[in-house]
Amino acid sequence: MRSLTVEAILRELGLDPNEEAEIRLELAEKSLEEAKDYMKKKDPIQASEKLYKAVEEYVKILGQLHKLPQYEKAKTEGRWWTQLLGKSARRLSKILKEPRIEQTWAIAYEIHIWEFSRSKI
């Protein structure tokens, strides 16, 4: 739900692409720091959520900077769907010749889903 709020705020602000990328980078870095704090507190559920958010924001930034069609679709629809993020990660891995981008997204998403399901038990 937080992503929808961030997307709506960014859309309302009408920022230029560089300003949007800077805000996303701040969000990603904040999420990464929060994840570290939760790991120190031995709270894997919250840590995994924060790590997922950091990876999600990094994929969005790279998608924007590389002008991926998935970025344009998310911008038009006002939301980044999970499928757009996965396609972006795959495409970025190919464009940048860096398989770790797709692997990192896959791991982050799997942990996100696994921890979410586990927290419901």
69-82 pLDDT, tens digit each: 999 999 888 889 99
- As a whole number, the mean pLDDT across the chain is 88
- Banded pLDDT at 20 (limits 50, 70, 90): confident
Host domain of residue 95: 2-119
Domain count along the chain: 1
* CATH number, domain with residue 35: 1.20.120.330
DSSP reduced 3-state for 103:
helix
Distances (CA, A) of 108 to 3, 9, 73, 75, 94: 16, 24, 22, 23, 19
Percent of the chain whose predicted confidence (pLDDT) is above 70: 88
What's the whole-number mean pLDDT along residues 57-61?
96
* Least confident range of 4-8, 14-18, 25-29, 50-54: 4-8
